[in-house]
Amino acid sequence: MSLDQAFEVLDDDAACNLRTARFSLEPLAPEDLDALLVHFGDPRVTEFLDIQPLVDRSGARDVLDWAEALRGSGLGLRWGIRDEARRFVGTCGFHMMTFERGRRAEIGYDLEPGFWGRGVMAEVLPAALTFGYDVLGLHRIEAMVTPGNARSCAVLERHGFRREGVLRDYAFWRERFWDQILYARLAGDPVG
């Protein structure tokens, strides 16, 4: 797949909407503003993320603007995850997509604490990975995990990701450098 083909897919709302048995994944949209404020306002959600807990709507607007720019540039896609009752459960998606000298992207996700340990990612992650490999034509999907986030490491390992190493002082936020654990899964890798 070329960057132009990825643009076509990312520009098609219907192609970007995914369903699992219990959840829907839809690109983040302006109507998600209040849900994002509540979600990313919870310090438990942002503990291992590169953002501070949100305190106002402008912070939520920044998240939406980032997601829209990501999609518009062809560099990724961030979904809002909703349950059968249309409650906002969290977000998931690809960023840092590249089709030049590789077909890879980084995946990230976050969930409302009330949904932790309830099998959300067991449904959502396979759907997102299938979209990445089969629709976007990715060959390698990476995930960066902040040390201490054992839940995320376990989710990735259950879904066939391999720990490739630790990138020392790889990221900078909250006025300090952070190591990142690099996980990756290739299109042909077995799950688990």
Q: Band of the pLDDT at 55, cuts 50, 70, 90?
A: very high
pLDDT attached to residue 7: 65
Annotate 142-189 with three-state secondary structure.
Answer: EEEECCCCHHHHHHHHHCCCEEEEEEEEEEEECCEEEEEEEEEEECCC
pLDDT attached to residue 2: 60
Interval 113-165: pLDDT, tens: 999 999 999 999 999 999 999 999 999 999 999 999 999 999 999 999 999 99
What's the token pair of residue 93?
């998606």
- Domains in the chain: ranges and CATH: 3-143 (3.40.630.30)
Q: Closest Cα to residue 23, out of 122, 94, 108, 100?
A: 122
pLDDT attached to residue 1: 58
Q: What's the predicted TM-score (pTM) here?
A: 0.93
Interval 62-109: pLDDT, tens: 999 999 999 988 899 999 999 999 999 999 999 999 988 899 999 999
Asked if residues 79 and 93 have their Cβ atoms less than 8 Å apart, the reply is: yes
Tokens 């009330």 belong to which residue?
A: 114
Asked if residues 53 and 40 have their Cβ atoms less than 8 Å apart, the reply is: yes
Longest dimension (CA), the chain: 43
Neighbouring CB atoms inside 10 A of 45's CB total 21
